[in-house]
Amino acid sequence: MPHLLTISPDFNTKYLSGWFVFNTWLQKSLGEAIHLELFDDFESCRNAITADKIDLIYANPYDASLLLRDKGFAPVAHPQSRPDEAIIAVNASSPVGRIEDFKPGMRVSATKDPEVNMICRIMLEPADIGPNDIQIVQRDNYVLVAKDLMKQEADAGFILAETFNDLSPMIRDQLKVILKSQIHVIHHMLLVGPKLAGKAGQLQQLLCAMGQDDKGRAILRDIGVNAWDPSSREDAEFMIDLMDTLIV
């Protein structure tokens, strides 16, 4: 049975083929058979984690606690200077100019990404808008969220900052950013499960050396990662503690 690798469902689809190439590189470098399985949504990804099906994962910080503390995963590496940040955006013509202008009852267009939704909800707190004060219009991806804003079918959108920057200039020009988070310390992380624990050190060395040759750099570029930095157990624990302060 090959090992199972998965990528947190919030990955940008433009990197889809890049992750398959990354997996080919991974199998060759580690000398292990690994199958890349992608899940459509966070729920099915979580179910696979809970059922102990996953051996390697590029994980969302939201799942880090489950993986590291309950499922015996070990941290390996995280992308250099690529923190997870979120944006609250509105239609360019919206009268809203700052967070405090939002009113309870507002319609928010959002995906199911639990991390982005958490950060954006926190950014609404200064306006005294709690989870029960917003009506969520759920969409499958951020382009649909942007469209809701353009068509004024929502008063605000919760968007992953990186994806926002990838929207076409034509779309972006019709939107206005009210606030972008600057949390800096929350990021995705590559983790290995118990069955591959013996390979964690080797994998860390391989990943962190990827930026040293052209081939490695090309693979990295196609998954949107500059370079990998090693993640220690304590780095990961620190991030989990931090997430714990933010999750209600």
Partner 1 sequence: MRDMTPDDLGGHSGEEHTLTYFDGFRRKVIVVDREVPFPEGKLIVSRTDPIGIITHANPIFVEMSGYSEQELIGEQHYILRHPDMPAPAFKDLWDTISKGIKWHGYVKNLRKDGAYYWVYATVVPNIRDGQIVGYTSVRRKPSRRKVEEMSALYKTLR
Which of 93, 168, 214, 244 forms a contact with partner 1 (CB under 8 A)?
Answer: 244
According to the binding rule CB under 8 A, does residue 183 interact with partner 1? yes
Contacts of 225 (CB under 8 A, 6+ apart): 79, 80, 82
> According to CB under 8 A, which residues from 1 to 60 bind partner 1?
none
Binding segment toward partner 1, per CB under 8 A, in 3-11, 104-112, 166-174, 239-247: 239-247
Torsion angle of C-alpha atoms 33, 39, 43, 47, degrees rounded to 10: -30
Q: In what order do the strands lie in the sheet with 34-36?
A: 34-36, 3-7, 56-59, 189-192, 74-79, 228-230
> According to CB under 8 A, which residues from 219 to 238 bind partner 1?
237-238
Binding mask 113-132 for partner 1 (x = CB under 8 A): ---------xx-xxxx----
With respect to partner 1, which residue has the nearer C-beta, 143 or 242? Answer: 242
| Count of residues in contact with partner 1, rule CB under 8 A | 22
With respect to partner 1, which residue has the nearer C-beta, 123 or 223? Answer: 123
According to the binding rule CB under 8 A, does residue 96 interact with partner 1? no
Torsion angle of C-alpha atoms 155, 160, 163, 168, degrees rounded to 10: 20
Which of 184, 197, 218, 226 forms a contact with partner 1 (CB under 8 A)?
Answer: 184
According to the binding rule CB under 8 A, does residue 179 interact with partner 1? yes
How many whole angstroms separate alpha carbon 133 and alpha carbon 205? 47
| β-sheet bridge partners, residue 228 | 79
> According to CB under 8 A, which residues from 155 to 174 bind partner 1?
none
Shortest Cβ 182–partner 1 spacing (Å): 5
Strand pairing class (74-79; 228-230): antiparallel
Shortest Cβ 99–partner 1 spacing (Å): 7
> According to CB under 8 A, which residues from 97 to 116 bind partner 1?
99-100
Judge contact between 68 and 236, C-beta under 8 A. yes
Judge contact between 38 and 218, C-beta under 8 A. no
Identify the DSSP state of 68.
I
According to the binding rule CB under 8 A, does residue 180 interact with partner 1? yes
Task: Look at residue 107 and give its three-state secondary structure.
Answer: strand
Residues of this chain that interact with partner 1 (CB under 8 A) are 99-100, 122-123, 125-128, 179-185, 237-238, 241-242, 244-246
